[in-house]
Amino acid sequence: MGAIVVKGPCNGPIEVQVDGTIIAPANPAALHDAYEWIKFEYVDFFTLSGKGVFDGQGAIAWNQNDCGKNKNCDMASMNFGFNFLKHATVRDITSKDSKNFHVNVLGCTNFTFDHFTVTAPATSLNTDGIHIGRSTDVKILNTNIGTGDDCVSLGDGCKQITVQNVNCGPGHGISVGSLGKYPKEEPVEQLLVKNCTLTNTDNGVRIKTWPSTPGTNPITDMHFEDITMVDVLNPVIIDQEYCPWNQCSKQSPSKIKISKVTFKNIKGTSKTKDGVILICSKSVPCEGVELNNVALTFNGTEVDAKCVNVKPIVTGKAPKCVATAAA
C-alpha cells in the first residue's frame, strides 16, 4: 500500500480494525516524499485496533541514510503519523521496520497506546519508536519497543506524558529531547516513566539539550521510577552538551533550565563505570535533581556518578556524585 491520509473531521467515533499485514513499498521513492506512510488526523474519538502488522520495509531506506554526514539528507517516511487527534487509542497493533520513526504524535490530546509493539533491528538508523511533540496527556502502556533509536522520545510542548510497563531494547532508551535547537520551542513538563525495563540499550533514561542554540524552553517535573536496567550503556543521563556526529559548537552553554527531576528505585546493570552522568548547563544549572535508591552495578561493583553544574539531592542508596569540570 502506498501513502494514505485518513482525515476528519468526523461526525462520530471512528474505529479502524486491522488484523492482517499491510506492507509499504520497499523503495523509499515509491512513497513520493510522504512525511508519514499512514496518517490519521483531525479526528475526535479515534481507535486503531486489531492484531495487524504495518510493515514499513525499511532496509533500503536505512542503507541510504547519510544524515550523520549530510545535513541536507532526504528524510524517509515514518510508518505512522497521528496528528491533532483528541481522545484516541491505539491497541494491539504492531509497527515493523519503519523507514524512519515508527510513530509521530503531533498536537494530540488524551491519546493512549496500549499493548502496542514496535520492532526493528538495532542497526535501523533514526527509527525512534514513538516520538511525541506538542501533545498533552499521552499514555504509553504495556508496550514492547525494540528499534535502532530512542524507544520513546519527547519533543517540545509535551505535557502530562506517562510511559508505564514498557520494555525497551534494543534502542537508545527513553529520551526527553533533544531540545533547544530552535528558538520558538515550547516547555516540556510532567513526565512519568514507571515500571519499565531497558535491555541492552545505548542509554537508559535520558534528558538531552543542544549547546550553542537559541532554545530556552524549560524542562520540569520529570520523574523516572521503578526502572530496571539490563546491561545498559548509560543508564541515567542528563546531557546538556548533546552534539551527535559533532555537528554543532559547544562554545556557549545550553539556555534550557532543567528542574524537578527524580530518579527513584532504579536498579540493574550498567555497561560503563559512569552509570549516572549528569551534565548540566553552566549558564542555567539544573535544580531539584534527586537520586533516590539508584542501585546500579558495573562488573559487580557500584557505578560512579559524574556531575557537572548540578548538586543532586541524594536519598537512600545512590552513587556518590563526583563533581567534574565541564568539557
Residues identified as active-site: 172
For residue 37, give Cα distances in angstroms to 93, 133, 191, 244, 308: 16, 18, 28, 27, 42
Is 237 in a helix, a strand, or coil? strand
Q: What are the phi and psi torsion angles at 74 (to 5°)?
A: -80, 130
Longest dimension (CA), the chain: 60
Q: What are the phi and psi torsion angles at 56 (to 5°)?
A: -80, -5
Q: Which of 54, 30, 138 is nearest to 88 (CA)?
A: 138
Beta bridge partners of 228: 197, 267
CB neighbours (10 Å) of residue 128? 25
User: Chain centroid to CA 237: how far?
Assistant: 13
Omega of the bond prior to 211 within 30 degrees of 0, cis?
Answer: no
Q: Which of 142, 89, 77 is nearest to 115 (CA)?
A: 142
Q: Which of 123, 192, 99, 209 is nearest to 152 (CA)?
A: 192
